[in-house]
């Protein structure tokens, strides 16, 4: 009899410690579908010929797109633009290539820099998106000017 009481007390203690005898629900069914693919820089790798048109021009200086070609290098994690000879740090944000860089601005205001951002998405074998450039331009060294180009890049 003592053994039976001991077993009942032990069972009561265990149930109390576990929060009682709640009903355990079945877990959600196992989803064996593959996860969505993760976009990497490799998906953007290669050389592209670019065209661009100004879509906003806060500089009123007739700034034009100088670069004619870009190269996306997944190993160096960079985007390189010819003509201006600039290399940007590149990453993938969701399904978009984002490349950013800050560069000396010899024609800008003293001690100012040029900040540029490429935002490009894949469309088949091509890339489309924008290039935004911001810097301080003389004579108004108090207000940054920004120009944004619509970019089309083809292999």
Q: How is the chain split into domains, by residue range?
A: 41-154
The pTM score is 0.75
pLDDT at 24: 55
Angle at 53 between CA 51 and CA 59, to 5 degrees: 130
pLDDT value at 4 more than 70 = no
Predicted confidence band at 7 (pLDDT cuts at 50, 70, 90)? very low
Residue 112 and residue 145 in contact, taking contact as beta carbons nearer than 8 Å: no
């Amino acid at each position: 009899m003592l053994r039976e009481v001991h077993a009942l007390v032990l069972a009561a203690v265990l149930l109390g410690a576990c929060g009682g005898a709640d009903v355990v629900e079945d877990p959600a069914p196992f989803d064996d579908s593959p996860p969505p693919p993760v976009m990497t820089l490799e998906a953007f790798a290669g050389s592209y010929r670019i065209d661009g048109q100004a879509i906003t021009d806060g500089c009123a200086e007739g700034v034009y797109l100088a670069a004619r070609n870009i190269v996306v290098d997944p190993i160096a994690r960079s985007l390189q633009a010819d003509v201006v000879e600039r290399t940007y740090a590149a990453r993938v944000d969701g399904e978009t290539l984002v490349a950013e860089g800050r560069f000396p601005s010899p024609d800008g205001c003293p001690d100012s820099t040029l900040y540029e951002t490429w935002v490009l998405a894949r469309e088949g074998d091509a890339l489309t998106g924008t290039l935004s450039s911001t810097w301080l331009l003389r004579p108004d060294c108090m207000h940054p000017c920004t120009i944004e180009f619509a970019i089309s890049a083809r292999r």
